[in-house]
Structure 1
Amino acid sequence: MMIVRHAAHRDLDDIYRLAQRAGESGIGLTSLPQNKDILAERITRTTRTLDGLSEKCEASYLFVLEDTSIHKIVGVSAIEVAVGLNEPFYNFRVAKQVHASKALNVYKTLDTLFLSNDHTGCSELCTLFLDPEYRKNQNGKFLSKVRFLFIAAFRSFFEERLIAEMRGFSDQNGQSPFWDSLGYLFFNMDFAAADYLSGVGQKAFIAELMPRFPVYVDLLSSEAREVIAEVHPHTLPAAKVLMSEGLKYQGYVDIFDAGPTLEANTAELRAVKESRLLKVKLTEQVESTETHFLVANDQYQDYAVLLINNKVDESETLHMTAAQAQALNIAEHDQVRVLALEKMENN
């Protein structure tokens, strides 16, 4: 059985193993570094948040996907409650500037990049990684979309705006054409080093070294211009999942690799609008359907979610087996929050 729950310190070794696997896939997942101390701190932040001990600037939820048949953590995903409150959160705003001269009969509209802190205070989806051996049976969508269901259940803990930074393009050697054309000129370090320092929280150098004035896109190399707001091919499936839930590109890109930032109003998320509370009926055998559902117990501190394709009857009751109910720590007639994995055609 596959189940998503909050990360706990007993999961550290497995999460570290996932961080090592993520490193094998190339540069870009900076929020899952191969550093046990930092990973342990991520788990501690989750525990403190659940215990109500964290300020908003430190609040975070780290989820794990567990294969309960072998008690193994095979995936992680996370939500930051509010970014940029204790250290600046940077990206580039893609904008335009007009240069005109009536005397010379010249009028030019030029694309520019402005260093921005516009997403300060937004909630953020981050740290999505699934063991390659488990990239099947809808596990990737399950692990990603759980976060939307959690936000739907506990909206008061999150901000009105939700963002997600997508990994930008880099080649098979980990080289970013955008970084090589812009960032390297100011930082004098390779892309991997700068991306790692940012991911582990050492971001002061960004403010110290990044250009404060607008960057004219036409001055970049053609290779750099072509990848602005482009998603890395390996990340494209994850981006499509987020867009299916209501996020979209609104003109902001990462300062390192120019990957797009997706964003949405929390109130407009599909999970917020379409998830519903259903009563549970226990049966020895359940009738399956073609539709898969995320089913959550809505227990804040002991949050747990299954992905099942059980029947929902005409009385808005979800049929579950005793084993499924036990996994969610619920009993017959309890309520669960249910969301179709994919948007229903009649919605």
Structure 2
Amino acid sequence: MLVIRPVELTDLPQLQRLARESLVGVTSLPDDTERLRERILDSCTSFDRAVEAHGPENYFFVLEDSSDQRLVGCSEILATAGFEEPFYSLRNRHFTSASRELNIEHGVPALSLCHDLNGHTLLRGFHIDAALARSPASELLSRARLMFIAAHRQRFADAVITEIVGYSDDQGHSPFWDAVGKHFFDLPYAEAERLCGLESRTFLAELMPQYPIYVPMLPQPAQDCIGRIHPDGQDAFDILEREGFETNSYIDLFDGGPTLYARLADIRSIAQSQTGTALPSDTCDARGRYLISNESLNGYRAIVADLDYRQGAPVALSPEMCVALNVTDGSPVRLVAL
């Protein structure tokens, strides 16, 4: 059975494997032992901390196959983007110029460096084994984070964002980076993203152009990358789009990938999830497939389960499900239809 749980320090060797396999652009999963160790310890501290409002906490989850304790994916929630340093994006909006004498008004799309998205909760670090892409496991890995937010709302902002990895080719070249960022750093795209994972995006962002970049002046391949998703990032995009996330006027400043946005009240796994109590049972007449989690904090667990759920009634769970969720008779649980 596949189970979502908080990361532990003993997961470090397996996380290094996931980092090596992850898509270029997933900068929150650096292939570096010390940075991963710091990320794990930071997450452990965040889960243990008593929190009344969203702050700098980072919640790191892993997807584990309970049959052999092998990690097959990971994902994160940063409670507050821009809490400790600005969260930079490119704002894509029209600049309008007009001539009264000629009676001409003309709008030109332009990209401007900004940190408008500071203060939002950020979903990041999504990675799953290729064999499990576009499966219920992908839904579990992505949406379990949202159910965690539903159970612990005081720890998060009222709106959530995520950046989807933008387009780069099989050789790791990004037409958007080559047309914009590369003029300010003598670095290939993959190396720039690697440095962001090891350090932060701030030192690179501060060297980016401070004035608007007029989109029509970019090469056509770069223009075509604005808001374009890397094929391997489509699964993550589709899941969140079904959740109610929408694209907005912001893109990633390195590869031009889209940013998704949603308010908590509009997110399906938060607004439509139901709470109940666990009822251990040797027989479960399954009528539907659900994502189900406990309501714990540092003992958080979530799985996909076939259940016979009726609102207001206890949720019948097999012994295997109870073990996976670490619940007993009467324990609170949360579930939403898959």
TM range (shorter): over 0.9
Residue 254 in 1 paired to residue 252 in 2? Answer: yes
Match for residue 20 of structure 1? 20
**Cα-to-partner distance string for 1:218-247 (whole Å, 9 max, x where unaligned):** 110011111101111111121010111111
The question of whether the paired residues in 2 share the 8 Å contact of 1:146 and 1:305 is answered with yes
Q: What letter corresponds to residue 15 of structure 2 in structure 1?
A: I
**Cα-to-partner distance string for 1:310-335 (whole Å, 9 max, x where unaligned):** 11147522211122112222112322
Q: What letter corresponds to residue 5 of structure 1 in structure 2?
A: R
Offset of residue 200 of structure 1: 2.3
Alignment RMSD (CA, Å): 1.8
**Cα-to-partner distance string for 1:3-25 (whole Å, 9 max, x where unaligned):** 11100111111111111121xxx
Q: What letter corresponds to residue 40 of structure 1 in structure 2?
A: R
After superposition, the Cα gap between the structure-2 partners of 1:152 and 1:110, relative to the gap in structure 1 and judged at 3 Å, is: same
- Identical aligned residues as a percent: 33
Match for residue 315 of structure 2? 318
Q: Secondary structure at the match of 1:234?
A: helix
| Pairing 1:1-347 to 2, within 5 Å after superposition | 1-22=1-22, 26-52=23-49, 57-135=55-133, 137-289=135-287, 291-313=288-310, 316-341=313-338
Distance 1:272 1:137 in 2: 21
Distance 1:91 1:130 in 2: 25
Offset of residue 137 of structure 1: 4.6
The question of whether the paired residues in 2 share the 8 Å contact of 1:45 and 1:58 is answered with no
Structure 1 gaps of 5+ residues are 342-347
Distance 1:314 1:155 in 2: 22
Distance 1:260 1:328 in 2: 34
| TM-score of the two chains, using structure 2 as the length reference | 0.95
After superposition, the Cα gap between the structure-2 partners of 1:85 and 1:170, relative to the gap in structure 1 and judged at 3 Å, is: same
Distance 1:194 1:160 in 2: 31
The question of whether the paired residues in 1 share the 8 Å contact of 2:174 and 2:255 is answered with yes
Q: Secondary structure at the match of 1:323?
A: helix
Q: Secondary structure at the match of 2:105?
A: strand
Offset of residue 260 of structure 1: 0.5
More displaced stretch, 193-202 vs 116-125: 193-202
Q: Secondary structure at the match of 2:85?
A: coil
Offset of residue 98 of structure 1: 1.4
Offset of residue 57 of structure 1: 4.8
Q: Secondary structure at the match of 2:39?
A: helix
Offset of residue 336 of structure 1: 0.9
After superposition, the Cα gap between the structure-2 partners of 1:215 and 1:62, relative to the gap in structure 1 and judged at 3 Å, is: same
Offset of residue 136 of structure 1: 6.4
The question of whether the paired residues in 1 share the 8 Å contact of 2:133 and 2:235 is answered with no
Offset of residue 267 of structure 1: 2.3
Q: Which runs of 4+ in 1 moved over 4 A?
A: 53-57
The question of whether the paired residues in 1 share the 8 Å contact of 2:166 and 2:257 is answered with yes
Distance 1:327 1:27 in 2: 32
Q: Secondary structure at the match of 2:231?
A: coil
Offset of residue 103 of structure 1: 3.1
Q: What letter corresponds to residue 296 of structure 1 in structure 2?
A: S
The question of whether the paired residues in 1 share the 8 Å contact of 2:291 and 2:303 is answered with yes
Q: Secondary structure at the match of 1:303?
A: coil
Offset of residue 53 of structure 1: 7.0
Distance 2:91 2:192 in 1: 20
More displaced stretch, 46-55 vs 239-248: 46-55
Offset of residue 178 of structure 1: 0.8
| TM-score of the two chains, using structure 1 as the length reference | 0.92
Distance 1:332 1:53 in 2: 27
Distance 2:215 2:76 in 1: 33
Structure 2 gaps of 5+ residues are none
The question of whether the paired residues in 1 share the 8 Å contact of 2:264 and 2:271 is answered with no
Distance 1:315 1:252 in 2: 42
